[in-house]
Structure 1
Amino acid sequence: MSIEQLAETAQAMVAPGKGIIAIDESGATCAKRFAGVGIENTEENRRRYRELLLTTPKLSDYISGAILFDETIRQSTSDGVPFAKYMSEHGMIPGIKVDKGTHNLAGFPGEVVTEGLDGLRARLEEYYKLGARFAKWRAVINIGEDIPSGTCIDANTHALARYAALCQEQGLVPMVEPEVIMDGSHDLDTCYEVTEVTLRSLFASLYEHSVMLEGTILKASMVVPGTTSGEDVGYDEVAAATLQCLKSTVPATLPGIVFLSGGQSDEAATAHLNAMNQMGPNPWPLSFSYGRAMQAAALKLWSQDLVNNFARAQQTVYERARDNGLAALGQWKQAA
């Protein structure tokens, strides 16, 4: 795939008023989510749940694509249509999570590095044949006493850059996700500093590995105080800090930035995105790639009656997509 085609796909991923739904939970995470609402964690229940999300009527009005898990990209709808094919036919771009999760960074207590580069080229080739047109790799940066270290940040951004280069070689748009974790007692300023250093390291690594930014999407965490910091900040403050951090680190050639919800409430994730877009115009489209913030309400509703609540749960997914689609334009209004 040429750089023009990669750029075209990347631009379609952040089309005005559209974002990405993340349904790439690993088996363990899915088991935890299901256990939380009392759904038996079987392959068929997982398939049915992913079908609920992907076949939501009119979903493509606000959703440009979905990040799938390895199991999901190999599954089909109840009618036997492979999910990736169903998505393409309904105006959505299939994506795939390709990292192998985080593992302790040897010699650096409390820090992790994402693994999965071994054999990645062959996996990407297979995913392309299965219909994927973009991929995702998540790095995790924890904030704590004396962490993150420069070693941890560089190890993770180096891996992100190698992954991104391999994606583009196979015709897939890389979504690079360096998540600065919310957990902790750190304040907003500390999150800002860590996010800034991480993004600087990331774009330096992408440059060193000849990754074409025009065919790359950044999945970013917002600049927020730690969950146990006790610091009370408003939506506008978070939006302003996040924007300032991005403007000082992210090249304007990037086609777009999508945010992760990262443990924020559904409403906060939407309100923060909306505030940032109201502060525009910005150098790049700012949209969403939410997982839990798109699904939690629907999963809870579906769990109460797997047969009769299917359509009602889909309506909830549609409403969350619509709210976030409006926020991606700065046009969302909080319910009175």
Structure 2
Amino acid sequence: MADLARTAAEMVAPGKGVLAADESIATMSARLEKAGVAPTEEHRRAYRELLVTTPGLARGVSGVILCDETFRQCVSDGRSFPDAMARLGLLPGIKVDTGARPLAGAPGETVTEGLDGLRERLAEYAALGARFAKWRAVISIGPETRYGTGTETDTGAGAGLPSRWKVRADAHALARYAALCQEAGIVPIVEPEVLMEGSHGTARCAAVTSEVLDEVFAELASAGVELDGVVLKPNMVVPGRESSETVTPDEVARATVTVLRAAVDERVAGIAFLSGGQRAARATANLAAMRRFETPWPLTFSFGRGLVDPALTAWRGDPARVADGQRALAHRVACNTAALTGTYTDALETAHAA
């Protein structure tokens, strides 16, 4: 397990984060269409090549997560994506779950699937060059249900979510995935994402995130997963998108670190936050605020949209605008590495636009 620990430590090395470019074919096609780009296989490939070949990317990014389609494709010079990335100093990562499906016994809730045949798929990905993998569980928060408190009881659709069964099912799947990854010599990114969708406040997000992480670490322990070979990818503790609550980056940082300190084992290699649909600059500001707190593990980023959306907007499928897309990505990476090193400022955010 020493090699796994070394790889995990490399993933969360000081001043570096992980780039998530692992959108499914359907999701990536939809984003291309929204940007005015034809959703073809070649455009999906070209876009991912633009990202991973951005000059100097390895200065602020340790590894890149790809989907199965891209992992099997080649960059323009004929090298496979994993090979090209390794030569550029980037760890190749692969998303291995097959998405969320309805969970039996839990109306309105889902569970992430993909365990069938995973041992064989991981062996193949390792042979192709994968150094780490990702599995994402998504947890929705419904209106809180109150009984016997004198307050109005919410019994509408989604009330009281997530259910205990939902939390246990996803935690168990994450642990089985993590154990299989380590068996294959691949570092697992464990991603339990409590979604921003909803009208819940920060306190409710904190409570659900705590419950989810407690269950995840109980299952990881049961599965015998070596925690120094695991990178955790959680959500930040923020109010729901439809909430009227406003919070500062310092308040997000304090709430998030408080939850993590109570729930996350100190042996975990590191914590790489997802952006979760936050505005790019806001996710970065929250990350910058978190570095002011003492934690037993390194804190970094594993953003998807929070890094790559500006690049897609700048590129728009035009080969003549590849450099524009790469500059946009490099700027967002620079902002996030500055957040990690204590040099992040509002002026840095506006420098690229200027």
TM tier, smaller: over 0.9
Aligned match of 1:152: 166
Aligned with 1:38 (options 21, 36, 39):
36
Deviation at 1:107, TM superposition (A): 2.2
Distance 2:48 2:137 in 1: 24
Distance 2:310 2:289 in 1: 23
User: Could you give the per-residue CA deviations for residues 154-189 of structure 1, whole angstroms, max 9, x where no partner exists?
Assistant: 000000000000000000000000000000010100
**TM-score normalised per structure 2:** 0.93
Name the aligned partner's letter for residue 197 of structure 1. Answer: E
Distance 1:39 1:168 in 2: 38
Deviation at 1:119, TM superposition (A): 0.3
Aligned match of 1:295: 308
Deviation at 1:146, TM superposition (A): 1.1
Query: Are residues 1:140 and 2:141 paired?
Result: no
Deviation at 1:278, TM superposition (A): 2.0
Deviation at 1:308, TM superposition (A): 1.4
Distance 2:104 2:85 in 1: 40
Distance 1:221 1:109 in 2: 24
What SS class does the counterpart of residue 171 from structure 1 fall into? coil
Extract unaligned runs of 5+ from structure 1: none
Deviation at 1:331, TM superposition (A): 2.6
Name the aligned partner's letter for residue 52 of structure 2. Answer: L
Query: Are residues 1:255 and 2:263 paired?
Result: no
Aligned match of 1:329: 341
Distance 1:142 1:110 in 2: 10
Aligned match of 1:65: 63
Deviation at 1:26, TM superposition (A): 0.2
Deviation at 1:115, TM superposition (A): 0.4
What SS class does the counterpart of residue 174 from structure 1 fall into? strand
**TM-score normalised per structure 1:** 0.97
> What is the aligned residue count?
332
Alignment of 1:129-208 (within 5 A): 129-144=127-142, 145-208=159-222
Query: Are residues 1:222 and 2:236 paired?
Result: yes
Q: Does the 8 Å CA contact 2:97/2:136 hold for their aligned counterparts?
A: yes
Query: Are residues 1:318 and 2:330 paired?
Result: yes
Q: Does the 8 Å CA contact 1:273/1:330 hold for their aligned counterparts?
A: no
Q: Does the 8 Å CA contact 1:276/1:330 hold for their aligned counterparts?
A: no
User: Could you give the per-residue CA deviations for residues 285-306 of structure 1, whole angstroms, max 9, x where no partner exists?
Assistant: 1000000110111101111x61
Distance 1:91 1:307 in 2: 24
What SS class does the counterpart of residue 175 from structure 1 fall into? strand
Distance 2:208 2:234 in 1: 13
Name the aligned partner's letter for residue 235 of structure 2. Answer: S
Name the aligned partner's letter for residue 302 of structure 1. Answer: W
- Aligned-residue sequence identity (percent) comes to 53
Distance 2:346 2:279 in 1: 14
Deviation larger for 29-38 or 203-212: 29-38
User: Could you give the per-residue CA deviations for residues 25-51 of structure 1, whole angstroms, max 9, x where no partner exists?
Assistant: 001100110111110011111110000
User: Could you give the per-residue CA deviations for residues 89-128 of structure 1, whole angstroms, max 9, x where no partner exists?
Assistant: 1111000000000011112122110000000000000000
User: Could you give the per-residue CA deviations for residues 208-254 of structure 1, whole angstroms, max 9, x where no partner exists?
Assistant: 00000010000010000000011011111011000000000001111
Q: Does the 8 Å CA contact 1:110/1:142 hold for their aligned counterparts?
A: no
Deviation at 1:143, TM superposition (A): 0.3
Distance 2:177 2:343 in 1: 35
Q: Does the 8 Å CA contact 2:29/2:44 hold for their aligned counterparts?
A: no
Name the aligned partner's letter for residue 190 of structure 2. Answer: V
Name the aligned partner's letter for residue 324 of structure 2. Answer: R
What SS class does the counterpart of residue 92 from structure 2 fall into? strand
Query: Are residues 1:80 and 2:92 paired?
Result: no
Extract unaligned runs of 5+ from structure 2: 143-158
State the superposition RMSD in angstroms: 0.9
